[in-house]
Structure 1
Amino acid sequence: MSTQHSAEQILVTSSSAPTKHLVVNRDSRNRTMARYGYSDETTKIIDSEKLLPTGLLSRLHASYPQHSGLLESRDFLFTDKDHYSGLSGFREVCAILNKNGIDIGHIDEREFFVEVYRFLATRHSLNSINWDDYPTDSVFQLVFPQPGMINAETTQAYIDASDPKARTQVAIEYMEKTNPHDGNQQLNKPWFVNDEGVLEFLDGSQHKYPQCQLVFDKTTQNCFSFCTYCFRHAQVRGDEDMFIQKDIAQLHEYLRRHKEVTDILITGGDGGYMPMSRLKQYVMPLIEDPSLLHVKNVRLATRALTFQPEIVLTEKYQPMLELFDTMRDNGVQLAWMAHFSTPRELLNPSTLAAIRRLQNHGVNIRSQSPMMNHISLFMDDKGGVDVERSSQSWIDLSNILGMLCIGFHSMYCARPTGEHHYYTAPLADMSKIFNRIYRSLASINRPSRHISMTISAGKLAILGTSIVNGEKCFALQFTEARNMEWMDRVILAKYDEKENKIDCLTPYDTDKFFFEDELKEIETQLADALQQRLVGA
C-alpha cells in the first residue's frame, strides 16, 4: 500500500558535478503540503514565514531517506477527526483500520490496557504510522496498547469477565498496582507558612531539586496523544492523588521565599495544553516583579511537536508567539522541552514548520526522551538487544536535531512505573548503546549528560564501566540529587548483565551505597514534617 513518490531532482549548474541531493523542489513540496490537507490559513503561514525551505527539506531527505516521510505519497487513513479518545475512540480507530484491510488483533487485551490507563491518539500521530509494517513501527508501539504489556493472569480475568461492568472492575483493581508515583514523588510536594501564619500546600507542584520546580497546572492535565509507557499516568487518568495546581499566585508566593529556584517546569499531562492567557499569568510576574528576578527560565514539557504540531501553524496561536517574544525581549528563556524518540517524528512537514515557527519567536527547543524497548531500543533475531541498530537510530536522531538547531538535552531509562517490564532492558545493554551514541557524535550534538534513571535519591547516571582489582564494575554519578553534594562523588556498583533498575544494583566494595542512610533520614524527615503539618492544618 505504501509507495514513495519518485523524487524530482534539481540539477544546479555550477563548475562542479550536478547536486543530485537536492531532491525536493517547490512542486514536490506543494504536493506534500496538499497531502497533509493544510487549510488556506496554514498554507499562507508556511509560505509567508518561509517555514519549509526546499533546501532544508532536500538535505534532510537526502541524508536520512530511511526515516523521511517528506516525499511519501500514500493516502492517509485518518482524515475526519483530530482526536480519537478512550474505548470508543480506540474502537473507532480499529474500525477504520478494518475498513482498509488491517486487523491489529488482540482487541480484548488491548482494550484492557485502555481501561487501566488510557487511549488517546491524534490524526497526525495515527498517520505517522507505517501501516504496511505497523507491528515494528515505533509510533504504533508508542500510542497503541500491545499484547503482553499487562500480565497474562490479570488479562485473562478481564477477558473472562461476565459483562462490561465486571471488566471495568478488573481494570479498576489493577490500577492500584501500577505504581503511578514512583520515586516517592508525594514527598516532593512543597509547602510554606504565609504572612498570616497559615500553612499552605502547593498541591500541584513538586520541588525535589533546588533549582527547578515542577508545576502540574490545572489546564495541562491532558495529552495530545497518550504514550503507552507514560510515567505520569496518574495525572492523565485523573487519580485522586494526582498533582494539580489551581492557584498561580500561591506558586509565585512560594517562589519569593525560595531564591534558589531558577526554573519552573510546566508539565502534566502536557504543558503544551496551557492556553496563552494562563501561561501569561505565570510569566508576567516573573518579568514585572523584582522579587521574582531569580527565576530565569520557564520550561514547557510537551509532545505537541510529535503529536499535533499543526496547532502552532494557525493564526489562533499568534498570541502565544507574541508572549514568547515578550519573554525573549525581557530575558526570560522559554525552553520547549520536546520528547523526540525517533527520527521519523521530525521528518514531516508539519513538525518541521512548527519547529521553525517557534524558533523564529525566540523559543529554545530541547529534546529529552527515554530509551524504551520496542520504540527506541530494538532487539535482534535472537532476542538480545541490538546495540548497533538501537544506537544508530539515536545517532541519526541527534544529527537531525543538530540540523534543526535543537539541543539534545538528555536520555533516560524507563522508570519503574506502569508496564515497566515491557519497555526496559538490562542496564548493561543500555550503557553499551549510550556509549556508542556518545562516541559517534560530534561534541555539539551529544546529549548534555549521560543516560540516567530517576529514583527517590535523584537522577543517577551510568558513566560507563571500569575494572577494579580485576573485576568489572559500573561507574555511577548523580546528575540531580536530594542532597546536591552527592553529585560530587563517583559511585561503583557491581557489574550485572541482567539488572534493569539502577537502585537494585549492588555496591562494589561496601555493604551499602554512601548515600543510603542519609536518604532514609531525608525521606523520614520529609514524611514526618508533611504529616505534622497535615495534622496541624
Structure 2
Amino acid sequence: MKIPGFSRIEEIESKFNISIPKEEKKKLKRVVEKHPMFIPDYYANLINWEDPKDPIKNIIFPSLDELNVSGSYDTSGEKENTVLTGLQHKYRETALLLVTNRCAGYCRHCFRKRLVGIPTDETLKLFDAALEYIKGHPEITNVLISGGDPLVLPTDVIEYFLGELSKVPHLKFIRFGSRVPVFYPMRIYEDEKLLDVFSKYSKPERRVYLVTHFNHPREVTREARKAVDSLIRSGVPVSNQTVLLKNVNDSPETLAGLMKELTSAGVIPYYVFQCRPVKRVKSHFQVPLKKGYEIVEKAKQMLDGHAKRFKYIMSHKTGKIEIVGIIGNEIYLKYHQCKNPKKVGKLFKRILTPNAGWLDDLKPVNREEVFV
C-alpha cells in the first residue's frame, strides 16, 4: 500500500517552508541513516512546524537526542521469546506475530526500533508454520498480529490471516496492533473491502479487536474518529495503548485530555506504558517513574470511570508490571501479566529513586525479592 508522505528532511523543509541549520541537518541525516524517517502527508499537516516544541512533531520528526545510544534495542526480551521467525510466545495464552517491518509512519519512540523500517530477519517468513505452532498449543487463546503495522499490508493478505486463524477452534479472539487510525485513517474508512473483511470475521463467537496507539489529543481528529467509527460499525472494538512521553503528553492535563477525546470517540483506554529504555529513545522520551506516577494519578483525578480504565504499565522482559502506588521512597508493583504464570497478580515493592525509569533501576527492599 502506497501512503503519500515524506522520507527526506529536505522534503519537509520544502513543503512547510522551514530551514534547518546545516550542522543540525547533517547530524539528523546520521539519525535517519540508522533509523528511517517517514511522515505521512496527512499526519505532517497536524504539526505546527513553526513551533520547535510541537508535541506531534516530537513524535514523528527525528531528533539529535537519537544520537544517544544508552539503553537496549530489546528491552522486553523479544529475542528469547521467539519460537519461530516472526512468532513470539511469551505469555501462555497469547501468540504474537510480527508480520511486517513497515509502518504507516515511523514513531521516533518505537520500542522495535531495531527492526522497523530497516532490513530484518525477525518478521514472519512462513505463516503456515506459525499457524501449525498455534494449532499445536491449545493454551493459546488469542493471537496479536503486529509488526511493523499489519494494516499497511494488502487487504487480501489480512483476509488470509483472519481466514486461517478463524479455523483454529481454541482461539477466542484475534487482535491487530495498528497506528493506521492515527497516521493514515483514510486507509480504513475508504477501503470498503477491508471493512467487509472485518465484518466477516468479527463475530459474536470470535471477535476481532484493534489495539491502536494515540499519544496526544490533537491526534484524535475528525478523520481518526471516522476510522474508529468505521471499525466499530464493522464489529471491531477499538482500544488504545498510550506511551508516556517526555515533551509529548507528560502533563496531567494533556493525558486527561487524550483519554477524554478517546472515550468520546468510542476508543477504550487500555494501557499507559512507561517508555522503555530503548537505544536512541531512552534519553529523549523516558519520564522517571516517580514523575510518571504523579502525572497518571493527577490525570485520573480529572477523569470519569470510563476514561480512567487504563493501567500504568511497565512492559519488562519478565512481564507486564503495573505501577500500583508510591509510599515514601518505596514503589509498589504488581505483575499484571508474567512470563512465569505463577507470579501473575503478585505484589512487590522496590526502593524508588527520583530518576529511576525502569524496573532494573530500582533496588530491592531486601536482598531477595519479597512477593506478597
Report matched runs for 1:273-292 at 5 Å: 273-287=152-166, 289=167, 292=168
Q: CA deviation at 1:239?
A: 4.7
| Residues 395-404 or 178-187, more deviating | 178-187
Q: CA deviation at 1:250?
A: 1.5
What is the CA deviation profile of residues 171-228 of structure 1, one whole-angstrom value per residue up to 9, with x for unaligned ones? xxx8xx87322233211012xxxxxxxxxxx2011110112111011xx321111111
Residue 511 of structure 1 pairs with residue 367 of structure 2: yes
Q: Which amino acid aligns with 2:228?
A: I
Q: Distance in 1 between matches of 2:224 and 2:43?
A: 11
Call closer, same or farther: CA 1:484–1:375 in 2, change over 3 Å. same
- Equivalent residues of 1:299, 1:335 under 8 A apart: yes
Call closer, same or farther: CA 1:132–1:238 in 2, change over 3 Å. closer
Residue 429 of structure 1 pairs with residue 291 of structure 2: yes
SS of equivalent to 1:254? helix
Q: Which amino acid aligns with 1:421?
A: S
1:361 aligns to what?
234
What is the CA deviation profile of residues 131-150 of structure 1, one whole-angstrom value per residue up to 9, with x for unaligned ones? 232x1211110111123331
Report matched runs for 1:130-169 at 5 Å: 130-133=48-51, 135-151=52-68
Q: 2:315 aligns with which of 454, 460, 463?
A: 454
Q: Distance in 1 between matches of 2:223 and 2:12?
A: 22
Q: Distance in 1 between matches of 2:65 and 2:199?
A: 47
1:325 aligns to what?
199
Residue 82 of structure 1 pairs with residue 1 of structure 2: no
Q: 2:19 aligns with which of 89, 94, 103?
A: 103
Call closer, same or farther: CA 1:256–1:514 in 2, change over 3 Å. farther
1:465 aligns to what?
326
Report matched runs for 1:326-405 at 5 Å: 326-329=200-203, 331-346=205-220, 348-377=221-250, 390-405=251-266
Residue 125 of structure 1 pairs with residue 51 of structure 2: no
Q: Which amino acid aligns with 2:67?
A: I
1:189 aligns to what?
82
Call closer, same or farther: CA 1:147–1:248 in 2, change over 3 Å. closer
1:160 aligns to what?
none
2:129 aligns to what?
250
SS of equivalent to 1:459? strand
Q: CA deviation at 1:277?
A: 1.6
Report matched runs for 1:225-240 at 5 Å: 225-240=105-120
Higher Cα Rg, which structure: 1
- Give the number of the structure whose residues are more often strand, by fraction: 2
Q: CA deviation at 1:503?
A: 2.1
Q: Distance in 2 between matches of 1:462 and 1:325?
A: 37
1:530 aligns to what?
none
Q: Distance in 2 between matches of 1:239 and 1:454?
A: 25
Q: Distance in 1 between matches of 2:66 and 2:123?
A: 28
1:47 aligns to what?
none
Q: CA deviation at 1:252?
A: 1.9
Q: Distance in 2 between matches of 1:110 and 1:261?
A: 43
State the number of aligned residues.
Answer: 366
Q: CA deviation at 1:514?
A: 4.7
Q: Distance in 2 between matches of 1:401 and 1:338?
A: 11
Q: Distance in 2 between matches of 1:120 and 1:249?
A: 31
CA RMSD of aligned residues (A): 1.9
- Equivalent residues of 1:438, 1:447 under 8 A apart: no
Q: Distance in 2 between matches of 1:149 and 1:284?
A: 40
Q: Distance in 2 between matches of 1:439 and 1:501?
A: 25
SS of equivalent to 1:409? strand
1:94 aligns to what?
13
- Equivalent residues of 1:213, 1:264 under 8 A apart: yes
What is the CA deviation profile of residues 220-251 of structure 1, one whole-angstrom value per residue up to 9, with x for unaligned ones? 321111111111122224354x4211222222
2:278 aligns to what?
417
TM-score, normalisation: structure 2: 0.93
Q: Which amino acid aligns with 1:344?
A: R
- Equivalent residues of 1:475, 1:491 under 8 A apart: yes
Call closer, same or farther: CA 1:204–1:444 in 2, change over 3 Å. same
Q: CA deviation at 1:295?
A: 0.8
Residue 179 of structure 1 pairs with residue 55 of structure 2: no
Q: CA deviation at 1:330?
A: 5.7
Q: Distance in 2 between matches of 1:466 and 1:182?
A: 27
Question: Sequence identity of aligned pairs in percent?
Answer: 23
- Equivalent residues of 1:224, 1:270 under 8 A apart: yes
Q: Distance in 1 between matches of 2:347 and 2:189?
A: 46
Q: Distance in 2 between matches of 1:434 and 1:296?
A: 32
2:343 aligns to what?
486
Call closer, same or farther: CA 1:496–1:283 in 2, change over 3 Å. same
Q: CA deviation at 1:487?
A: 2.1
Q: Which amino acid aligns with 1:513?
A: E
SS of equivalent to 2:19? coil
- Equivalent residues of 1:411, 1:447 under 8 A apart: no
SS of equivalent to 2:306? helix
Q: CA deviation at 1:484?
A: 1.8
Q: Distance in 1 between matches of 2:199 and 2:149?
A: 22
- Equivalent residues of 2:76, 2:315 under 8 A apart: yes
Q: CA deviation at 1:126?
A: 0.7
Q: Which amino acid aligns with 1:493?
A: R
